[in-house]
Structure 1
Amino acid sequence: MFADDVLFEFIHSELVNYVTKEKSDSSIENAKQSDLSTLEYTGFITGYRIIERLTKDWPRFQNELETLKFICTDFWLSVYKKQIDNLRTNHQGVYVLQDNTFRFLNKISAGKQYLDSAPKYVSFTCGLLRGALANLGINCLVTADVVSMPGCKFNITTVQKSS
């Protein structure tokens, strides 16, 4: 593992800790949802900027599927140093990206006791994907499913622009 890989994991971990630290208000559930929104928005801005630099020398993508293939290969490789393990689609605007050894869940125990903590470690990446796709002209919703650690499925549902 290279030094910049360790730094990336450390920054992500500190970002999660900083944003999700214990709140003193009475509405803990609202605070948790707000924390995930903050992490997702931070990821959105980051993904928007990364994809801008990454695609500056690329021609425009022909369609959504070609764009998602780029996200699964080149984008994921530049951010996480590996490609997505599986891409599935129903060809109607729903895509599922599966990473069997998701980097930010890799260091957490594979037991089920930490499944409740998983959303805070994947919300940044949901935003990262949404931001990258937004910059490429694809408006979408991104959610993540963690059924067994360290695997993660990112569900992307494109939202058609209303005319």
Structure 2
Amino acid sequence: MSRIFGKVCQNGYVVRDIEAAMKHWIEVMGVGPWFYIEDVKTDWFTYRGVASDVKMSIALANSGDLQIELIQQRNDAPSMYKDFLDAGREGLQHMSYWTEDYQGLYDKALGLGYTVGHEGQIGGEKGRFAYFDTEAHPGTVVEISDISGAKGKTFAYIRKQAEGWDGTNPIRTFS
């Protein structure tokens, strides 16, 4: 438990081949079902304060209370995902903390000296997220994500689908 951010709710893996990564998690790890969005539409996205037209695919599944996120960037736009891959890495890139008081947690982090690496919004004002530039070694980027709106309901649905999952319909497409 982080005394600053609370409990880790998600581990985010940046991968070069999201389909192969889902297959690994399904067949080797037994985790699913996966909810896959091939073309994520952001309302806006910035990298180090500058607008960036990042294109990405994501897949989400739960292992108990922990959500696993797979991210494949589909273009060369500036992002912390691209930085991670360009450094020769693939795998765990960030830990995400969820909040219903996004602005309060965001302001607290900035007040403590954290700097934003990239941030954006998906699905309206209650869909904000920020990745703080905290990577001392791979996997230590901190993300905060607003779950006060539709995203929170979606995440709860994904967790519920993982409970007692029998292995059928392992990849489910979201639009």
Which TM-score applies when normalising by structure 2? Answer: 0.26
Q: Which has the larger radius of gyration?
A: 1
Compare the two structures and name the one with the higher strand fraction. 2
